[in-house]
Structure 1
């Protein structure tokens, strides 16, 4: 969250306010889309100029999910545990 707080300062300087939760969600979706393109490039299905972006963007998307969970008063770890428990129950 220290990184996100630094970005909030930058947003205040640029726009006079921090991004909304919706804007954070859009930033996450943008990075998720970049993962899609980078994955296609990795699999030889789409050319890319940035061959090394995939690991960083995967990490960034996880980071965005943590940020979004916190901003919406959710515990990220509990969200993941809930999802895994639901899937395990479904697969029994």
Structure 2
């Protein structure tokens, strides 16, 4: 699957969540609230990684793989809301790193 399709699907899913937010809270979450949700999910990811290596106990109802994917999804969502073309920025980032590392 191409990254452009992943971005499109991610944005469509987030739009459905925005509709639920409007339905339940009269407005969609702000960018700051989205970032807070990402921060929470990064904390859950950290706990899952620590659990994987026996440094924490498993208390989350998630698994490591789905939390990694969810964090990527949040980054795609935030890039969209911040008007950042994450696909082209990722390509630029990778090209710069490849050039730097030879």
Q: Normalising to structure 2: TM-score of the pair?
A: 0.79
More contact order relative to length (CA 8 Å, sep ≥ 6): 2
- The answer to whether the aligner puts 1:48 opposite 2:58 as a matched pair is yes
Give the number of aligned pairs: 92
Gap runs ≥5 in structure 1:
none
The CA deviation at 1:87 is: 2.3
- The answer to whether the aligner puts 1:70 opposite 2:74 as a matched pair is no
CA RMSD of aligned residues (A): 1.6
Task: From 25, 35, 39, give the equivalent of 2:49.
Answer: 39
Moved more, 44-53 or 73-82: 44-53
Q: Normalising to structure 1: TM-score of the pair?
A: 0.87
Tell me, in whole angstroms, the C-alpha distance in 2 between the residues paired with 1:29 and 1:50: 15
